[in-house]
A = this chain, B = another copy of it.
């Protein structure tokens, strides 16, 4: 297995695999400033809820380096602006807010130390987030693997592998673990319009790993499920509400409706940092609407007429009742999720 490191902090710079350019080009996008990091998150150089969180944490580190010659008070207020900006780079992934909150905690806890010491503390915190992300992703993969029967045909949506999550991934981490366990699996990867993360990224990761797979247009999934050709679905999540409703890439909810109709097990794999304990249900999750250009143009090529209006939500919400189980780093949660999730707070 070739290890894919989508996020790396080296020589004071954040190095990201530029996911806008895969699979045609493998290039590194370097961020020397927090503004570059914010751009990288907003423009989806880096994407995937956990990866966004880790990248943002390093964005805070970059801000600290930029502001470290400022007097302490000004430093604190400059940092606060940077945190705010990074926090709002994308609205749906709760891991972003979670990582920023954790970094703000360090700033508050260490208030008063030299800016140099603060930089080191923030760098340590970001490194810890990244390291813990990798451990969590490994744990999720191992727990999820328990749900995969030998010879399973697995359907997945969007990209939830090493490009989206430090470590082996969430949903794709489960796939990796099943493959490594010698389970003779087969994967159908949804291409995932409009950004085609499945075609660009998941198909690329699956080929890199040598996992047998086929790429499909998103709407092919229904026939496969009806014809009994899918044994289970596993997807990631960008935010999970306290009742188990899960926001994930647009198209996930549609899959879940068909899966329920044809009794295909539907699993969500995500770290606990994806759970928004303050959010009672999916109704309260803000869904990011992205540019119409994502639908009308592909790689700069126009595929729809000029002046066409577009509705382009980036995510949808799968209700808890369509989810068979939620795989987290501590294990597997089953319904009723309100209780199971509440139990995690203790």
Contacts and interface: CB of A to CB of B under 8 A. Distances in A.
Contacts of A98: none
Interface stretch (A51-59, A122-130, A189-197): A189-197
A340 B315 CA distance: 41
A217 B257 contact: no
A136 interface: no
Contacts of A298: 298-299, 301, 303
A303 B299 contact: yes
A112 interface: no
A121 interface: no
Contacts of A203: 304-305, 308
Contacts of A220: 250, 311-313, 316
A308 B207 contact: yes
A196 to B, nearest CB: 5
A9 B207 CA distance: 49
A327 interface: no
Contacts of A196: 303-304
A214 B309 contact: yes
Contacts of A217: 193-194, 218, 250-251, 295, 312
Interface stretch (A75-83, A170-178, A221-229, A236-244): A221-229
B310 A214 contact: yes
B191 A295 contact: yes
A119 interface: no
A24 B296 CA distance: 12
A258 B254 contact: yes
A188 interface: yes
A61 interface: no
Interface in A197-225: 199-200, 203-204, 207, 213-223
A307 interface: yes
Given A199-B304, A303-B299, A311-B188, A193 B219 contact: yes
A191 to B, nearest CB: 6
30 contacts: A23-B304, A188-B311, A191-B303, A193-B193, A193-B219, A194-B217, A199-B303, A199-B304, A199-B308, A203-B308, A204-B305, A207-B305, A207-B307, A213-B308, A214-B310, A214-B311, A216-B311, A217-B250, A217-B251, A218-B219, A220-B250, A222-B253, A222-B316, A223-B313, A223-B316, A254-B254, A257-B261, A260-B261, A298-B299, A301-B301
Interface of A: 23-24, 188, 191, 193-194, 196, 199-200, 203-204, 207, 213-223, 226, 250-251, 253-254, 257-258, 260-261, 292, 295-296, 298-313, 316-317
Given A203-B308, A217-B312, A218-B219, 18 more contacts: A23-B306, A188-B311, A191-B193, A191-B303, A191-B304, A193-B193, A194-B217, A196-B304, A207-B305, A207-B308, A214-B310, A215-B308, A215-B309, A217-B218, A218-B218, A222-B257, A223-B250, A261-B261
